[in-house]
Amino acid sequence: MELDLQAVKLNDAIKAANPAVLDMLSAKGKAIFFPKLGILAQSAEANGKEINATIGIALEDDGSPVALPSISKNLNLPANDAYPYAPSPGRADIRKIWKGMIEKKNPGLAGKTFSNPVVTAALTHGLSMAGYLFCDEGDTVILPDLFWENYGLIFTNAFGAGLDTFPTYTEAGGGVPEGRFNTAGLKAKLAAPSKNGKKIVLLNFPNNPSGYTPLPSEVKEIVAAVNAAAAKGDKVVVLIDDAYFGLVFEDNVYKQSIFCDLGDLHPNVLAVKIDGATKEDYVWGFRVGFLTYAIKGGTPALYEALEAKTGGAIRGNISNSSNPAQSLLVRSWSAGEYESEKKQKFDLLKRRYDEVKRILAAHPEYKEQFSPLPFNSGYFMCIKPKADPEALRQKLLKDYSTGTINFGSILRLAFSATPTGKLEKLFENVFKASRELSGN
């Protein structure tokens, strides 16, 4: 495919700043650009004119957006912050605020460079756009074997990239996990010869389904493994799915995003942070997320080119993300109550987490039927049952009115969604159902 001149310009800018980044892009990623000419440019030129017949929305005679009263009566937002399109890379205000929030939540970013966040229609879309930009047919994405199942649809079904997994935890023997992230497994995958000099890694902490976040010592080992691959000459794209960022319930666990460490590691390592309000701010249906880049030596020109490519991919895909949802979030983040409200909700989830830990400690007999996998954060925890997980799930549904998720050899339990007072019963039900199935 012959590249559009606008794509060539972006590629030249990327190459001039860091040729490794150009090598990381997929064929689609190399070809995409944000159209600065055409409709958008002509619309921008008409801005402020007496008659502006360029905009693809409908305006009343007084210039306000046409709106149906049956909608606006339920909407407590100025019409201009709700009805018109948001820009493809997102509203300027939300991008600026989120950048500041990333910095505040990650003190380790102080003095480091990273791009402006580009708004996506939440994290699934951010991951998909990362797939668009970095994954070619036949590429592989390296990740732990406990992963969010939608990665298959996102990377494999849509972009033809395989998932190459390693066991999530080190083993104590006999299939029983120790409480350690398997950094050696990641290291081995990264050290293996690469097909095209490129490696794509996907990290998700706190993890879905396991609820695990690495300790600082494990983060160091992960970073060293990525660095070793980069030093050998591989171009490494690390996709960092920070969906559950901030929900860390133990003090000894790494609290910042690994984006801080990977984003200025090596000129061959591009860190791509995919995060958003979905889980962090409990607005699952709003569909607002962000995609942010960092690389050692990253220049404004490099970041602008990556942002433009991301904006172009979004423009050709969903055009832009929900304007009312972005506006509501900007208002919440600017309100004085935001921090204390967030703390209240964190405390709710932490109480549930503590209650799960208490229940497990109070019932040593549960170990006869299931072992909990290491967990310290997020929405979930997993158990490895003695009984067949699918049979157990079915029995829990049928005889105990209890829903769980079967992840193959394990069951996932969402303490985030279980009333605190029902957690005791949840585990008791699992224990009883498993005992009935296994016959002892």
Could you list the residues that contact ligand PLP (CB under 6 A)? 122-124, 148, 204, 208, 241, 243, 276, 278, 284, 289
Task: Report the residue number, 239 or 305, with the smaller CB distance to ligand PLP.
Answer: 239
Return the number of the residue (289 or 298) whose C-beta is nearest ligand PLP.
289
Q: Under 8 Å CB-to-CB from 230, ≥6 apart: which residues?
A: 236, 265, 266, 267, 268, 269
93 Cβ contact list (under 8 Å, min separation 6): 330
Separation CA 168–CA 162 (nearest Å): 18
Nearest distance in Å: CB 203, ligand PLP: 10
Side-chain-side CA neighbours of residue 382 (13 Å): 27
Q: Per residue in 78-100, is it b (16+ CB within 10 Å) or e — as a string?
A: eeebbbeebbbbbbeebbebbbe
- Which residue lies nearer to ligand PLP by CB, 109 or 122? 122
Instruction: Say if CB 4 and CB 31 are below 8 A apart.
Output: yes
Judged by beta carbon, residue 208 or residue 310, the one nearer ligand PLP is: 208
Largest CA distance in the chain: 82
Structure tokens at 283: 């607005």
| Beta carbon nearer to ligand PLP, 33 or 286 | 286
Could you list the beta-strand ranges (E) of 33-83. none
- Cβ distance to ligand PLP smaller for residue 82 or 127: 127
66 by Cβ neighbours in 10 Å (0-12 / 13-18 / 19+) ranks as: exposed
User: Residue 114 or residue 379: which is nearer to ligand PLP going by CB?
Assistant: 379
Least distance between ligand PLP and beta carbon 290 (Å): 10
C-alpha distances out from residue 437 to 139, 401, 410, Å: 42, 16, 15
Q: What's the token pair of residue 377? A: 């954060």
Cite the DSSP H helix spans in 78-121: 92-105
C-alpha radius of gyration, the chain, whole number: 24
Q: Which is nearer to ligand PLP, 285 or 364 (CB)?
A: 285
Shortest Cβ 316–ligand PLP spacing (Å): 19
Closer CB to ligand PLP, 183 or 321, in the complex: 321
DSSP output for 385-438: ESS-HHHHHHHHHHHH----EE-SSSEEEEGGGS-GGGHHHHHHHHHHHHHHHH
Closest approach of ligand PLP to the CB of residue 289, in Å: 5
| Helices 122-134, 300-315: crossing angle, 10 deg rounding | 110
* Beta-carbon count within 10 A of 311 CB: 22
Helices (H), 253-337: 259-262, 277-280, 300-315, 323-334
Residue 415: CB minimum distance to ligand PLP, A = 14
